[in-house]
């Protein structure tokens, strides 16, 4: 009986230790992903991205898309480094994969190259389409500042050698549903 109790205590300790290490590595990797995005360091962004994404959009194509999105004829976007104030959901094990929802503060500026005639309606559009918490417009610089909580979906599985990699959660979960089945979507509440 004493042996069974000792075995159970050891098993419980090991489980708690593994989960603590998992969360510690998740926090470290989430910060790396955040810093890579803010600094627009494509190599680091790609290193922290869930690799199956590149089966859908090759890295060179993604780099080109990012470049066009961040700077084009109409506007330029810059990500502003702020305290991310991460909040981590429960780590869920589904079909041999680990998942965790990671929410964080995300701030960007969007500077338009032509003067804005109706900045107020743009503020409302940004609030709705980006689910932004706060949008301000600086008429002098023709720049919007957009503040929101964003979500990364962390994934660790055989493909990532059980290292945490990330997907940006979009409104309709389009990218996630291209990579994972309906059972996983449902289990994560997506």
What are the pLDDT digits (tens) for 148-160? 999 999 999 999 9
| Mean pLDDT on 49-71 | 89
pTM: 0.82
Q: Does 6 score more than 50 pLDDT?
A: no
Q: Does 40 score more than 90 pLDDT?
A: no
| pLDDT: which is higher, 28 or 182 | 28
Which pLDDT does position 172 carry in this prediction? 79
Which pLDDT does position 109 carry in this prediction? 94
Q: Does 10 score more than 60 pLDDT?
A: no
Q: State how far the Cα of 103 lies from the Cα of 90, in Å rounded to an integer.
A: 12
| Mean pLDDT on 171-182 | 84
Q: Does 14 score more than 60 pLDDT?
A: no
| pLDDT: which is higher, 46 or 11 | 46
Query: Given pLDDT bands bounded at 50, 70 and 90, which one contains residue 188?
Result: confident
Q: Does 143 score more than 90 pLDDT?
A: yes
Q: State how far the Cα of 75 lies from the Cα of 128, in Å rounded to an integer.
A: 19
Q: Does 49 score more than 70 pLDDT?
A: yes
Contact by Cβ (8 Å): 81, 90: no
The domains of the chain, with CATH numbers, are: 2-187 (3.10.450.100)
45 CB contacts (<8 Å, ≥6 apart)? 33, 36, 37
29 CB contacts (<8 Å, ≥6 apart)? 48, 154, 163, 164, 165, 166
Q: State how far the Cα of 102 lies from the Cα of 166, in Å rounded to an integer.
A: 9
pLDDT above 70 covers a percentage of the chain that reads 89
What confidence tens digit (pLDDT) does each residue in 67-84 have? Answer: 888 889 999 999 999 999
């Amino acid at each position: 009986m004493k042996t069974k109790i000792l075995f159970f205590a050891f098993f419980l300790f090991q489980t708690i230790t593994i989960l603590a290490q998992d969360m510690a590595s998740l926090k470290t990797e989430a910060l790396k992903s955040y810093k890579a995005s803010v600094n627009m360091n494509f190599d680091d962004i790609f290193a922290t991205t869930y690799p199956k994404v590149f089966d859908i959009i090759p890295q060179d194509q993604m780099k080109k898309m990012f470049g066009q999105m961040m700077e084009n004829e109409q506007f330029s976007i810059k990500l502003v480094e702020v305290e991310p104030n991460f909040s981590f959901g429960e780590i869920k094990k589904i079909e041999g994969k680990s998942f965790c929802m990671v929410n964080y503060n995300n701030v960007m500026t969007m500077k338009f190259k032509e003067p804005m005639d109706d900045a107020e309606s743009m503020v409302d559009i940004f609030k709705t389409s980006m689910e932004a918490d706060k949008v301000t417009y600086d008429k002098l610089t023709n720049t919007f500042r957009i503040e929101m909580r964003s979500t990364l979906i962390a994934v660790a599985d055989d493909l990532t050698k059980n290292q945490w990699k990330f997907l940006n959660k979009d409104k309709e979960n389009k990218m996630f549903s291209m990579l994972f089945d309906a059972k996983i979507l449902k289990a994560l509440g997506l």
